[in-house]
Amino acid sequence: MIEEFHILYQYRDIQQAAATTDIKTLEQVLVKFRKVVAERREEYYTEIGEEAARKVKMKKILEQIEKDGICVEDLLLDFWRAM
């Protein structure tokens, strides 16, 4: 629980620093932060194993499909009809 409060405190510090930082610098930090997140994601997938990682990725894909308003059942029916 203490760790969560520490993270929230850091978030407030970042907000305060961002308020006085120009956009170009913030965008450069964002690029670097995205790299760190991608590396951590790769480590995470390695930790949980390939099968679990595949499930996580598939879940994200299905969520995006639903968000886009595409019916998965219709896609499957169309696929089977085409075969």
pLDDT tens-digit map of 7-43: 777 888 888 999 999 999 999 999 999 999 999 988 8
pTM for this model (two decimals): 0.49
Structural domain spans, the chain: 22-82
Question: Which amino acid does the sequence have at 20?
Answer: T
User: For 20, which DSSP code?
Assistant: T
Is pLDDT at 1 greater than 70 in this prediction? no
Residue 48, Cα to own-chain centre: how many angstroms?
Answer: 16
Q: Are 11 and 3 in contact (CB under 8 A)?
A: no
Q: How many residues does the chain have?
A: 83
Q: Are 12 and 19 in contact (CB under 8 A)?
A: no
